[in-house]
Amino acid sequence: MSTQIIECKIVDSNRKVLGSLTVWAFATGEFEFTGDFLSFMDEWSQESHRFSCLFDRTAKLRSRFAREGTSIWGTEVTDQPAIAYLEHMRIKPKYCNQGIGSWVLKQIWLPEEGVKMVNTDFLFVQPGALVEEFPPHDPFEPDPHREAKLAISDRITQSCQRNGFRRVGATSYFCLSFDPNHASRCIPITEDAKFVEDATRSKGELVGMLARGAMPW
């Protein structure tokens, strides 16, 4: 099983560091035979567990997402050698709102303008505020930074959409196709699907994992 954690510094022409980028890349070929992709993702982190809920145990995008939302994502998304997930892109505050995030995607991810980091035509992301940038708070009390986090998440979501990301089903996840002819490229931002709910593991999947002794605890 080949898994990459790709960490890059974002620099300008003078090698000045503007920010950083982290991408997770999961080679998925073996899961067609082992059927333990969900268990594997559970071992990584809570974030990878949530992300894996988009897929079945063989690392294929769940068929429901071909029907929900704009219905633009299908089997082509995971008929790839790998699944790529943009874990974070952090731009230093003094360089924010200058189009650097858009520049990074164009320079690094679009195949006609740069070199793809991983062997896939799709990049997933869950836009949101970075938790570590806010002071910790009592989980049993209301989050005093909730409104600020929501505002940042909305701004990042809009930025992702401007750069070609479109919602997966009606979840909080988005996907970018590197193929300019993919159906997602024809969906205007105003017609992109709205968030309804995130994907979760079904009872059948949890029971199956328990029966195989594949639970992460």
Question: Rounded distance, CA 180 to CA 149, Å?
Answer: 32
As to burial, measured by CB atoms within 10 angstroms (0-12 exposed, 13-18 middle, 19+ buried), residue 43 is exposed
Locus of tokens 């570590």: 132
Per residue in 101-149, pLDDT (tens digit) is: 888 877 666 555 555 667 788 999 998 755 556 566 666 667 666 677 6
Residue range 176-190: average pLDDT?
93
Contacts of 214 (CB under 8 A, 6+ apart): 36, 38, 39
The answer to whether 104 touches 11, Cβ cutoff 8 Å, is no
**Residue 156 pLDDT class (50, 70, 90 cuts):** confident
Question: Rounded distance, CA 55 to CA 77, Å?
Answer: 11
Q: What is the pTM of this model?
A: 0.82
Question: What's the pLDDT score for residue 215?
Answer: 42
| CATH code, 3-211 | 3.40.630.30
Strands 82-91 and 3-11: unpaired
Domain definitions of the chain by residue range: 3-211
